[in-house]
Structure 1
């Protein structure tokens, strides 16, 4: 780890000013400190934002709930309101990491975590995400955990988290504060980026901007499931994960929202899938159609080819469970 300056601002304005000067924010540090030890991240200044508040979970006037950016994953998952009305979020958080990490990891930091690609984590290997223009070593290398959707020759890494997948299905909104007291809100589905021509950019945050919270809309009831397929049941990143929020009425699906993890550079959401499910009666033919929509442009790169049939089977299993359809 390289030497760095350490600052602890006591307010949001101070944190934004420091970050605008090219410093790096730190809250729980569960991802950043690992990257610093490997010299993947080498900030000259760390700005510790743990003193600026943003650690409350509060109801909104519209019947939803606001989760402060510094609320720990453990606190969020255990909150009785979230467990009752947005259980999908609680289940996704509990499926990720260990208890010790969840105690430190924060809502804002979790959204901003970086990829776990082997080559991104190894400074001796070319990586466009770490050093733009050097190439993507994973294309012809070890890519078992890598993307089959939305990737290109610049980067085939995946977003590794669980919490954000649930937030995509729940259509959350990310609140962002910037320099000079400017603020904006971004749907979480628009927060992360696909690699495009700028694979080094994980999300839409700009210099000096700080996530202040995440808002969930009012609960809609129904069934909420999170399924994480991984190589072992203990702490491991997903090979494929699915967040599903469905409501049934008179034998048909009256509302559906699905999101998919570990398939792409960002959590994956396709409005066509939600539309195809809404108003339809559960059947294997319908579930096959949903899988076809999800995977129509899927592409494997060798070691990760298995993810495509795995995703198909997982989609069908989750939809059968969520709708109560016979197998």
Structure 2
């Protein structure tokens, strides 16, 4: 190992040359050959050596006690095969995390789609429920008005019967007519004070309605309107209108369905019997609404789709709503038809 020669001169002593061998080091070890001992104090920048006044020569060797750094340790400890294995593990870990992230993204998208489908389905059902509630309210009001007209018609008929009995001097018919007139007035008074009951809101506003429940009121209204349009005297002639309303009440009490053809046939037959002069040459016209009404109901049902395709999101949504896929598909078909 090479040594450096450093010369020190002390002005107070005799001029002597000391040779000091220094090896690059952070620590110093002083080897004294004389009798006296010196205590060296090492400084970071300038080492200070204390010597005795003895003239004997001594050597100072500074040795670096720090462990030598081997530059080849890293390259020797880690082989290329180990680096390759490590890279494979890292890549496998990255692939696993990527797959988990993609799966989480797919699940999030599925939840969003299901939520959107649920919101759309709920809005449609709520709108349909409001329409049905409005239809029920209108139906109740119409029924109340019809009952009032029936009571008024019964009162008119009772007055006419009372007048005829009075003119004929028939006491029994007079009493009977008086009772009918009294009952008609009582009925009219009750109906005038009657109000349609308020609809109660369900705890769950989302209701599944069948196709028959939704489409049933439509043909009935069309047939009644068609019959009223064909019989222009209805609502104009008080006498004929009262008789028609009285017949309506009688047929309902007998259990005849107001939506059936028998109901309209009996009303028409009775009206022609009592007022034949009003129906001369109009027999064919009166029958036309009956033929047209038979076509209305099948026409609306024929528009319903025969096949409905549901997505997995819709099937999952149906399960969450407690519906079968068939019930969900039926409601979807109704919404498609109404759009």
Q: Normalising TM by the smaller chain, what interval?
A: under 0.3
Pick 1 or 2: higher relative contact order, CA cutoff 8 A, min separation 6. 1
- Report the TM-score, using the length of structure 1 for normalisation: 0.25
- Report the TM-score, using the length of structure 2 for normalisation: 0.25
